[in-house]
Structure 1
Amino acid sequence: MRTRRDVLADAVERLRMARRDTPELDARVLLKEALKLSDTDVITKLDDPASPEGVVAFNCMVARRVRGEPVARIIGHREFWGMRFDLGPETLVPRPDTEILVESALAAFRRAPPKRVLDLGTGTGCILISVLSEFPEAAGVGVDKSERATAVARKNAERLGMNGRARFVVGDWASSLDGRFDLIVSNPPYIARGKIADLDVEVSVHDPHLALDGGSDGLHAYRRVAEESARLLPEGGVVIVELGEGQEKDVASIMREAGLKPEKAAPDLAGIPRALAALR
């Protein structure tokens, strides 16, 4: 019987030949999932025999990664803001860069925490749930056009203990909502429709196009978010949106046209302007 180290080495070589960016890391994550190992096991027990059924499951996962499927989609979950979020075909994979929205919310409400939070295009619910984890007195609503995405978000909220504070609804942005929200957050679709096919296969093939398609200019969703924010934010309320690269100027202009006051966008880990906050 082959050892775990043997099958891991074979997988690393396959992923390297397929020109995956992080073959060693990918192989270890998939081995841990397929063989149901702990982090300690992956470090200290690689010379143990690998069960035949585990090897079959692992090789199937590696084959999917070789074809370009993201690791998070293969294992079905991704960490965000220190919490595990399950995924679905209709949700984006949470990215580390998106955490800047949560950081921006903390900065905007340093003195007086928000009471009501709205997340437009909620997907997995990761932004809303992460914000609520930092503001224990707040409650929030997440809206998504996809019924299946909202079902994933509800399950994540329940598993993470937010079921009583986070509500998820299917809707066309905030058209069915009224009342006031102190904070609105959104990672909207911002890829120009004609450019989706040019994206890396991990995105163009495996991410839901509903969550990518920002219309002909990539800005359609921002116009809706700005419009709804102007209607639902009280004076002093804040909307924070994730930006695509090079979109800060255009989105700031959209916010101003809606009667909101944009601030300078906060940069992501690569220094790219990524989170734009605007005040009512």
Structure 2
Amino acid sequence: MSSAASAKAVERVIADAVRRLPDCTDTPRLDAELLLAHAYGIERDELLLHPPGGPVPPSFADFLERRCKGEPVAYITGRRAFWNIELEVGPGVLIPRPDSETLIASAIEHFARTDGPERILDLGTGPGTLLLAALDQWPRATGLGIDASEAALAYAQRNAARLGLAPRAHFRLGDWAKKVTERFDLLLCNPPYVATDAELGPGVAEHEPAEALFAGPDGLDDYRRLAPEVGRLLNPGGLAAIEIGYDQADAAAALFREAGLAPELARDLAGRPRALLIRA
């Protein structure tokens, strides 16, 4: 099959998949492209730039069926890109979101005139998302990731090994900052911040771990636990970057001010409130 014919065939397959997906996703074309690329065992860029010839792999129909039932694309493919790294993900871990990249971007800005942080703490590390992205950014740094989920930590350890970061990344089962006595140059945290009765996108509450999503009636329960701890965890000149919901800036910031801290607001690329920054 010629390259032009292959491109037309792939486009027909994607178009047909898009017609099946609108009710279960806000990004039907992207989902179809990612799932088709996964079925072929290639990257999405290769699928679009160099469309493969031959029949569509039978697994694609299964992937579409799973997506139509609400299963996240990242769980189907087993991976998710974040910042400059790619992470293994699956049931039992929160899927990394682009929103969380605001924390890494804020840290880069904070340490722009220095050699970067030497010690990094990631509270609620999940599959290692923030810690491993930061260690990839600053090759001299070492870090600690803490999570209450053994399943999440297993993913984090595998991701660290696959990315060649295991010698610099240590992971530990824990309850936020309890029993952490060390101080760090950079603290990263994406805690649960969804109100218990909030509506989420298709498949989120049904598939992703509730303990990584929900934080009480107002979504602030974990900020109440974190706020009194942050000050003691930072070295002079350090930064804490803590993710928040887009509508929580005032309420979450008030909790940290009550703890004697002076949070600043960071916005995501869409201009929405996305993180609180606390400088030591």
- Provide TM-score, normalisation by structure 2: 0.90
C-alpha separation in 2, matches of 1:14 and 1:191: 30
Q: CA deviation at 1:180?
A: 1.1
Residue 167 of structure 1: how far off its partner (Å)? 0.7
Residue of structure 1 equivalent to 2:3: none
Task: Letter of the 1:12 partner, please give it.
Answer: V
Provide the aligned C-alpha RMSD in A: 1.9
2:266 corresponds to 1:266: yes
Tell me what 2:117 maps to: 114
CA–CA distance in structure 2, aligned partners of residues 162 and 107 of structure 1 = 23
The SS at the match of 1:10 is helix
Q: What's the CA shift for 1:9?
A: 3.9
Report the equivalent of 2:207.
206
- For 1:205, the aligned partner's letter is E
Deviation of the 1:219 alpha carbon = 1.0
The amino acid across from 2:74 in the alignment is A
Q: Give the distance between the partners of 1:226 and 1:15, measured in 2 at CA.
A: 42
Distance in 1 (alpha carbons) for counterparts of 2:253 and 2:47 = 49
State the one-letter code of the partner of 2:212: A
Residues 6-35 of structure 1: CA deviation (Å, up to 9, x unaligned): 54443222124x363332221121111112
The answer as to whether partners of 1:90 and 1:123 remain within 8 angstroms in 2 is no
The residue number in structure 2 matching 1:254 is 255
Secondary structure of the residue aligned to 1:21 is: coil
Q: After alignment, is 242-251 or 225-234 more displaced?
A: 225-234
Q: Report if the CA contact (8 A) 1:150-1:170 is conserved.
A: yes
How far residue 111 of structure 1 moved from its aligned partner, in angstroms, is: 2.5
Gaps of 5+ in 1: none
Distance in 2 (alpha carbons) for counterparts of 1:6 and 1:152: 36
Q: Which moved further from structure 2: 202-211 or 5-14?
A: 5-14
Query: What is the correspondence of 1:34-53 to structure 2 with a 5 Å cutoff?
Result: 34-38=39-43, 39-46=45-52, 48-50=53-55
234 and 5 in structure 1: CA distance in 2 versus 1, 3 angstrom threshold: closer
Partners of 1:194 and 1:14 in 2: CA distance? 29
The 1-side partners of 2:179 and 2:24 are apart by 46
Between the two proteins, what is the percent identity of the paired residues? 46
**Residues 88 and 149 in structure 1, CA contact (< 8 A), matched pair in contact too:** no
SS of 2:271 mapped into structure 1: coil
Q: Deviations over 1:37-56 (max 9, x none)?
A: 3433444335x2216xx22x
SS in 2 for 1:184: strand
Shift of 1:202: 2.5
Per-residue CA deviation, residues 198-235 of structure 1 (Å, 9 max, x unaligned), is 22232221221000111222111112222221222233
In structure 2, which of residues 16, 32, 47 is the aligned counterpart of residue 27 of structure 1? 32
In the alignment, is residue 220 of structure 1 matched against residue 225 of structure 2?
Answer: no
Shift of 1:73: 1.7
Contact 1:190 1:244 in 2 (8 A): yes
- Structure 1 pair 249–5 and aligned structure 2 pair: CA distance change class (3 A): closer
- 1:5 deviates by 5.3
Q: Which amino acid aligns with 1:145?
A: A
Q: 1:61 to 1:155 in 2, by over 3 A?
A: same
**Aligned residue pairs: how many?**
271
SS at structure 2 position matched to 1:50: coil
State the one-letter code of the partner of 1:45. Answer: P
Would the alpha carbon gap of residues 5 and 183 (structure 1) be closer, same or farther in structure 2, given more than 3 Å must change? closer
Structure 2 alignment gaps of length 5 or more: 1-8
- How far off its partner does 1:4 sit? 5.1
Asked if 1 retains the 8 angstrom alpha-carbon contact of 2:153 and 2:173, the reply is yes
Task: After TM superposition, list the pairs within 5 Å mapping 1:1-280 onto structure 2.
Answer: 7-16=13-22, 18=23, 20-38=25-43, 39-46=45-52, 48-50=53-55, 54-55=57-58, 57-112=59-114, 113-195=116-198, 198-263=199-264, 265-280=265-280
Contact 2:88/2:127, CA 8 A, preserved across alignment: yes
Deviates more, 1:136-145 or 1:65-74: 65-74
**1:181 Cα offset (Å):** 1.0
